[in-house]
Structure 1
Amino acid sequence: MPPIPERFRGSPLLVVSSLLFAFMAFFARSVAGRLSVGQVVCARFAIGLVFLALYFPLTGQRPRMGRPGLWALRGLFGGGSVYFYFMAIDRIAVGPASLLNSCWPLCAAILGIFILGERVNGYLATGLVATTVGAGLVIWSTVQDGVGLTLGTGALAGALSAVLSGAAVIALRALRGDTDAASIFLSFCFFGLLFGLPFALQDWRPLSWDMLGPLLGVGLSSVAAQMIFTYAMGYVTAAGGGITTQLTPAFSWLLGALLLGEPLQPLAMVGALVCMSGVLWGTGLAPRLLLPASRPSP
């Protein structure tokens, strides 16, 4: 049996990662206003560090930091991105915040071309446009009750999180050639905790028992999502990975409908279909199914 193309191995895992990231955003929103953004950020990364403290001894591996400077930058960019993403969730809710954060593939694709020398083919470019439009339709349908995108701290934080996410993914892609996923995740958790700790201490709010469940949800879902994402990005380009992760806003809308009783709107359903079509087309799955296979020349 011929080997499976690498991009097929990466994209299915990224779909799972996108769903888990949507759960993370859902749990983060559930404690918005009761805990500070810094506290939620620190909880996410502290749980990640606990996981890694068990992971490395159980697997017999050691962290690898072949390029310490780039390794540290990945963590700083990623930690800053999470902080501003959670700030956007706290200020403007999950839907608009996810929409703004989901613009990161545009930044990553541009940086990937100039820094990593990656090429964006027609399928990827078309898929990126389609999935971005689909995600926008999904989120737009959820803000018809008056909670829209307004210029302010939350919107600016969401936009900044997208820029930092793009930079973090470029650093991740550069590291994946000689650094394992767990070591990259260690950078993310360590520097992310350092980034969020001053904000948590500055605005510390008392914890109650009913907050522990959502905080564990934020941490555990983010650990699983980030490990899968980091591993899968070793098999796709920055632009290709960005296309698949555009499913996160669609999944966020679905979780809101199922778990919060939000109504299913036709525009959101159309957006989800456009988003899925963009993923299938951009990763090359749809062209392989719809277009006839080329025949060798006689």
Structure 2
Amino acid sequence: MSPNFKGILLTLGSVFMFALMAILVRAIPHVSSFHSSFVRFTIGVAIVGILAMFKLIPLKFRDRKNLFLRGFIGGIAVYLFYLSIVRLGVGKGSAYVYSYPAFATLMSMWILKEKVEAVKFIPIACSIGGILLLALGGVNKQGATLGWNELIAVAASLTTALAVVYVKKLHNSDNSYAIFFAQSIIGFWLFLIPSGLTQGQGNSFDLTILIVLGLVATLGQLAMTEGYRYVNVATGSLFQSLVPVMNLLSGYFIFQEQFTTTESLGAVIIIVSCISLVLINYSIGRKSRITKLVE
């Protein structure tokens, strides 16, 4: 098996895992998002800790301050993502959250001092327009559906974008396993008390789903991390753009979630805009490499 083919298989595996994760969260809407987040991070700590103990993966921490910030922000982002899925549905919630590449691009200008080419502002503006269509698309006799749930989903997108920017910053000092473990261990402590306070009676089915959820989320993250060893970031990011598409389909076919025409248009605009950002990044990166070769 060629390295490139292996990378593609791993990346597609992570896409499937992330899409399945959203379905599992949606399958137990009565379980607190605090509890779902806590179980996810607990299993993440356990799996990565065991792999590191047997020296199957390297686990060293260098930029501790930013690792803490990434873990704290990432932990909140996961909780808000789960809460968005429970309150808005797997399709609509995912469409909001997966608009994060647009916000991450803007944040990188401020935090990382990165230059953002003018052409990127077109898909960014379209993505924000898609969010507005998605939020206001459910107009009915009671008025627009914009409310706290939609604001929570937008907050999930913003915190996810900020977490991604910190991941990018940390790649200069720490490897992906350390970054993931930092999020898991901080998320564990972040949701330890809230999950205990909100834990209901539950049953064996809920417990099984929570355990599978934690395993799927961790395996998806590890598969994505390993996949990036064999494929470039542009290819990996393009594959990851399939996740909200799969979530929209699962929301419609599995959970019978309904979308108005305007909501559907907004979701499509968001996804297409984010894919366009990935393609623009790839095109600019390829041209810069050619320029360097010529020079």
TM-score interval, normalised by the smaller of the two chains: 0.7 to 0.9
Q: Which residue of 2 aligns with 1:24?
A: 21
Alpha carbons 1:42, 1:193 under 8 Å: kept: yes
Q: 1:102 to 1:176 in 2, by over 3 A?
A: same
User: In structure 2, what is the Cα distance between the partners aligned to 1:205 and 1:42?
Assistant: 14
Q: Which residue of 1 aligns with 2:113?
A: 117
User: In structure 2, what is the Cα distance between the partners aligned to 1:121 and 1:173?
Assistant: 18
User: In structure 2, what is the Cα distance between the partners aligned to 1:174 and 1:125?
Assistant: 22
Q: 1:275 to 1:77 in 2, by over 3 A?
A: closer
SS in 2 for 1:283: helix
1:170 maps to 2:165: yes
TM-score (norm 2): 0.74
Match of 2:39 among 36, 43, 66: 43
Q: Deviations over 1:15-54 (max 9, x none)?
A: 6544432221110111111x22211111111111121122
Q: 1:271 to 1:248 in 2, by over 3 A?
A: farther
Q: Which residue of 2 aligns with 1:155?
A: 150
Q: Which residue of 1 aligns with 2:54?
A: 58
SS in 1 for 2:37: helix
Matches within 5 A, 1:269-280: none
Q: Which residue of 2 aligns with 1:197?
A: 192
Q: How many correspondences in the alignment?
A: 279
User: In structure 2, what is the Cα distance between the partners aligned to 1:216 and 1:235?
Assistant: 32
Q: Which residue of 2 aligns with 1:94?
A: 90
Q: Deviations over 1:187-230 (max 9, x none)?
A: 11111111122211111112311123321332122113323445
Alpha carbons 1:28, 1:218 under 8 Å: kept: yes
User: In structure 2, what is the Cα distance between the partners aligned to 1:159 and 1:196?
Assistant: 21
Unpaired stretches in structure 1, ≥5 consecutive residues? 289-293
Q: Which residue of 2 aligns with 1:74?
A: 70
Q: 1:64 to 1:97 in 2, by over 3 A?
A: same
Q: 1:273 to 1:95 in 2, by over 3 A?
A: closer
User: In structure 1, what is the Cα distance between the partners aligned to 2:197 and 2:278?
Assistant: 44
Q: Deviations over 1:125-173 (max 9, x none)?
A: 55556677779889999999x9x84312x33322222221111111110
User: In structure 1, what is the Cα distance between the partners aligned to 2:97 and 2:130?
Assistant: 14
Match of 2:215 among 205, 214, 220: 220
Match of 1:253 among 248, 251, 254: 248
Unpaired stretches in structure 2, ≥5 consecutive residues? 284-289
Q: 1:252 to 1:221 in 2, by over 3 A?
A: same
TM superposition shift of 1:81? 0.8
Q: Deviations over 1:231-276 (max 9, x none)?
A: 6499548xx9877644432210122344345689998998887677
User: In structure 2, what is the Cα distance between the partners aligned to 1:111 and 1:10?
Assistant: 29
Q: Which residue of 1 aligns with 2:203?
A: 208
Bigger shift: 120-129 or 223-232?
120-129
Q: Which residue of 2 aligns with 1:291?
A: none
Bigger shift: 258-267 or 192-201?
258-267
RMSD over equivalenced CA pairs, Å: 4.3
Q: 1:60 to 1:245 in 2, by over 3 A?
A: closer
